[in-house]
Each structure stands twice: as structure tokens, then as C-alpha cells.
Structure 1
Amino acid sequence: MGEIIRVAFDAVLANKLRSLLTMLGIVIGIAAVITMVALGEGAQRSVAQRLQTLGTNVLTVRPGQAFQGGLGRGQAAMSVDDAEALRANPRAIQAVAPEIEARFQVEYGAANANLSVVGTWPAYFDINQSKLAQGRLFTDAEDRGRRRVVVLGALAGAQLGLRDSSSLVGESIRIRGIPFEVIGVLAEKGSQGFSNPDESLYMPLSTAQFRVMGTDRIRSISVQAVDEQSMDDAMAEIDLTLRREHRLRPEEAADFNIRDQASLLTTMQETTQTFSMLLAGIAAISLLVGGIGIMNIMLVSVTERTREIGLRKALGATGMDILLQFLVESLVLCLAGGTIGLLLGVGGASVLQSVMGWSMVVAPEAIIVAIAFSATVGVFFGIWPARRAASLAPIESLRYE
């Protein structure tokens, strides 16, 4: 066996360029699979982290389609009265926070940036598990008094050209030309899909409605259930309360939607998993192509080395010896290609994470599967050439020109 392995290695090294080109398909396939799986795994973990950040007992109520006489008459309106009704006599509801959001030009000194401004109640920060990094949060009294105070996301200061948002605490910024006092800065949470709470500004709801945005409507209501087991009761309570507020009969369609954020993020996670499997499947096609390339080169090698095979058999090598020699050559090519592809895949994932800022996670299982798969490809696509070499008759091989 030792001699067989040595001869196989010598044969691979004797044609370095051909061996390298033969491995290329495996290298590209393994690198692509590792990178795509790392991207999918990173996306799934990112969704899981966002699920933990948002909490599994949070519901979001948004305006739906309003109907009259069986016909749609546009989007329904929601107001602060709806939120007040939900927190008036709660049973399965722990906290309520209505929200309104719009983008405005924010100025600080000579710097300015277009940022998202969110008007809400103080309960919003507890519901969304937002932690305070510096300063303080606004209060219910400041909401009732329509005070011009804001709390910044962790990266809002960076949008205004500052290195640290905390340096703005106690300073005055202008939103639509109106001065506001910065009273606090939130800890960083990370991007959440199309929105990034770290780059937003937060102010009392009444201030946002009547001093900045000029509307009494709200975009949504975040509702926190008492616990995860009370989600169904909380949904039923929201439905009953809002139907009463909107004067809807039991047989009428609701003019609002209730979303379970945990279910929404679980759906996102399943979609991400399916997408990552699709990408990995596409990348695996190159492994198949690489395996066919190895089989083709090994068949050529068998033809080129027919006299060598005949000589070895004449000196006492059995068919199994020849079979093992060519299998080992195929296996060496695939494992070497798999190792190079693995290194390129891990390196590519690191580059994408540092340059693009994507969440990339190279799981140990993916590494084991990649190496095992490359070895399987080597054995599978090496069997036919190896059997063909082993079946050659010694006399005919020695006569081969």
C-alpha cells in the first residue's frame, strides 16, 4: 500500500499543471459551497438574534383596508385613541406604544443628514428592549407637554459627522429647522432588515405629531403581551378592543392587521434557509463538473500509461493494485482541491464580512461535509478509470504504441 500511494503521488506531481487544472473544478465548487453556506448560516443567525432582540411576545398592529357596503374605501386610520383603549383595562397586555415615523433633514452646526424620526411613547424602549447608553429617556410628562427632546440611536451622530453620538447629549439639534435638546443615546442594536434603529431619532409622540409631522394619525401600535403563552389572549383582546373603538360589527372585516413578530421572523428565517440551500445547490453543480473533469483526465491518464500498467502487471502487480493506484490518484486530486477550496471559501467569507459588512458564519459541519464530499467525488469519479486500468491485459498493454 505504501508503494501504491508513493507511485500515485509521483504520477500527480509529474504533471503539475494538468493536475492543477484538473483540481480547479473541485476548488471552485468547494469554495463556492463554503462561502454560500457561510452566507446562509450568517443570515439565519442574524434573524435569530433579531428575534431575541425584538422579543417573542410582541405584536404589531397596523391599519388595514377599510370597507363600506362590501367595497374597499382605502386604508383605515389609526389614532392615539386606539392605543389608549388598549392600555385602559389590560388583561393579557403588558405594554402599548403607538408609533409614527418620517424622514427629515436633521442639522447640527454645519452638518446635516436625512434621518428617520420616530415619535412614540416611553414604553417603546422597553417593548423593543432598547438599552440606554448615555443620558436618559423622555417621560410621559414630556409627551403630554409636547417637549422638544430627542433620544438618538447609537449611530445617528456618525451620520452628522461625529465620532461618538454620546457627545451630543445636552446639545441642541434642529429637525425641520426646529431646535431639539438631545437627552440620551441608545446602545447599538444592529440593522433590522430595511430599517436601522441605530440611525434613527426618537421623540415624544405628541411632539412628533403636532410640532413636526402635523398629523394625528399613527403608523402602528406595538403591543407587548404579558408572556409568550398569553399571545393568543392578547391578540383576541386587541381584536375585541379595536373593533369596539372602530364600531365594527362581528360580521364585518377588520380594518386593522395584527402581526406576530416572532412568526414573521421565523418565516424570514425559513426563507433565508431555503435561499441558502438553493445557493449551495447551484455551487454544488460545479463540484459535479469538477468530478467529471477528474474522470476525464484519469481516463486520458490510463490511455497514456497503458505500457506502464502492462509492465507493472508483468512484474506481479494485481488488478487490485492497479485499481488502488488510480483511485488514490483521483482521491489525492479531489482532497487537495477540496483543501484549497476550503481555504479560499473561508478567506472569501472573511473578506465579504469585512468589506461588505455581511454576517458570515463558517460552521464546522460545513467544513466536514465539504471535505467528505470532495473525497466522495474522488472515489466515485475515479472508479471507472481505475477499473478500466485494472482490466487491461498485460500482453496487450506492453504491445500498446
Structure 2
Amino acid sequence: MSPILKKHVPLAALFLCACTLWNCGNHSTDSTTASATVEGNTANVSLRLDYSTPPLLDSLVLDCYGTDTLHYVHSADNPNFSLELFPSDSWNFKAKIYANGALMQMGELETKLSAGTAVNLSIQMHPVVGFVFVEIPLGLKNDAGITSGSMKLKSATDQYEIPMEQTVDGAVFKSDMLKLGCEYEMEILLFNQEGKAVYSVSDKFTLTEDSPVPELTLNSLRSQVALAIKAAEERRVEITIPLKAGYRRPQVDDLLITEFYAGASKSDTTQYEFIEIYNGSTDTLILDDCAIGATSSGSIRYLPLTISEIAPRQVLVLGDASKDITPPLYVNTESWNDITNTKGSIVLKCDGETLDSLYYATEPDSLHANVVPSAGSKSNTSTQLNLAQWENRLDSTAWYLGKPTPGEIATGD
């Protein structure tokens, strides 16, 4: 399972992106993939941007020049544009992709549009600059004690020093846009509270039109470093440098209950109950003797987990095995009883020790003045933890109700 962190903490531990330089050329009407005649005085155009997704993608912009001048902006997850345009012998489409706060990719296409036609077009996007984005996992408890860091980039003509930015469970470095056609040396240093360098890593890469896109991946400060060079989609070479192993049984605050959905509609075959847990440590945790307990029919029944381990920053979704609609990837318990909707408890135990627990209800009661909010019988609504407030998770303000997002972690305010 490869969950997505919303707002978000990407789950790869250390990611280096560097884009090569291409010339943005005009495309003829050969880029038209389909055309049909329809009634009307305008042309219906479906246009898609083809691009390799960079990290920190901001927005997609399309400018259209013909019988009129039009400007469109789409969010990062929508590469498709649907247009209704007046006929012209020359419509020019210029597309731009912004990432890391700057223009990163461009593409252009020119074509003729006739009245009453429906056309499918595609613009091939080409990177014009590059940048470095590094993400390092530290874990929610930051056991390594990393408080600051720096990333140095050096070419024959330029050098940069980028400070570390702290996230909920890690750290990131991100450079401004870089010159291309250069060889870069990279050095990352991480410091503890006393200012002592406790970790360092270095690499060298060259950015040219024909060079591969280098990726440096750090899975965990205490597990292993993998240096990967990706020359093409179909070819990948990896060199692994072993470090101190991080493979152990979980302790308190290693595993967190981050979401639960108890009010799945029985009349909606797309909904299913689930409980979500998150490994906030930097180690792979052994789950051999772990179980999840949930209130069902007034009592808590513990369900052993069927998965043996969970990797750092991985999300595990425990779903209802009794229903065919539950995705097989989420059937991670030996059995399941329906979770009570209005109020109840959820407890995660490993080796007989309670690692995390919560009490949820639609409103406080005489025994519980502060409760995790429950959606009750409200359909298509789950209770989710804001990971940025994980240390205050016994407070109701650390939780919110929203559309179920199994496998995704919310980290915003």
C-alpha cells in the first residue's frame, strides 16, 4: 500500500528531482488525436497536457490565441481542458506548468479549427529548468534529535546553501530553480540541538539534455540508504548502502489511530467500515502480536492483525473482511464486527500493551467531558486526526469530521 499524505507529507523519504532542458517547439495538427463533425458554429476541443509530474506541482496554465484570447488555470491534479472555440485557420495553444513556485515546463501547439468539429488535442510538455527537493523522515518523536540542517549545492559557477524546514514527522530541503547543463555536487548535513553534525550524505549529478534524472532516496536514518539512477521508465539501477537496522516491536506513540469510519451506509455498496493506523516512527515495526479493539454491541472485541510488519510512515487500513466491497488491500484483520456508530472505544494493543486508544461520541457525557467527535449515523463521514496535533490527540480539537480517506493522512491545521 502506498498511501498519499494530504497537504501533505509525501511518503518517499528522500526525493531528488532535477529536470533536463528541452526546446519547446510548435506542433502541427498531427497532434490531433481525434476529430469529428458536429452541429454548431464553434469547435469543441478536448485538450490534455502530457507531462512527467514533478514534486511540489502548483498549477497548470493554458493560454489560447485565435479569434479570441483565453486564459485558463487548472489545479495540479487536472491536466484536461474542455474548450468551445470559434473557428480559425490558426489557433495557438501555449501551456505552462508551475512547480515549486516557478515556471518549470512549457509546451506549444498550433492547429486549425473548423466550425462544427470536435477535436482531441495533446500538448507534450518539456521541462525548462530543474530544482532539488529533498524529504527526510525523522518520525513523530524525532528520536534522532535533529533540530537543524543544511543542503549545499555547488556547480562550476554557482553555489547554494539551503536551510532545513521542519515538517510534522520529518524535514525538507528545496532549492530555487537551477541552471541546467551543469554538474552539481550536493552535501546534506543534519545537526542535533548542540549543533553537532549527526548525519551527512553527499552525491554528484549532471543535468544535460541526454543525462538521466538522478534520484537519491533515504528510506530511514536508521535503516538503509538507496542510491538510484533512473535513465528511463523501463530501466532502473539501485545501489544499497546498509546502515544500522531499524526493525523492532512497536512502543507507545509509535503507532497512532488516525482515522475510523463506523457509519458506513448498509444501502450503499461502495461504503465499508475501517480503522486506520499510522507508523510515525523511523523504524519498521513488527505487528505479530498486535490487535485492534473496537466497541461492538456494547463490548470491545479484539481482532488480531493479519499483516506482520509496517514500514516507516506507512498507513495501514484495517477493513471489514465480511463484505466483498472492502478492497482486498484493506482486509487486514482476522474478522470484523460492526463498530458502534454513536459512541464507543477503539484500542490498539501490541504484546499486551495499549499503544493508542480513544473514546468517541457525538457529544460529551457524564464520564467523558472531552471526546473524539463521532459522525454517528451520518453517511460518508469519518473521524480523522490532524497529524500536526498528534500529541494532543486526546483533545477533541485534534480531530475533525470529513469524507473518508483510507490510506491518506491529513497534516494541515
Richer in strand (by share): 2
TM-score tier (shorter): under 0.3
Give the alignment's TM-score, normalised by structure 1.
0.20
Where relative contact order (Cα < 8 A, 6+ residues apart) is larger, the structure is 1
For the pair shown, which has the larger CA radius of gyration, 1 or 2? 1
Richer in helix (by share): 1
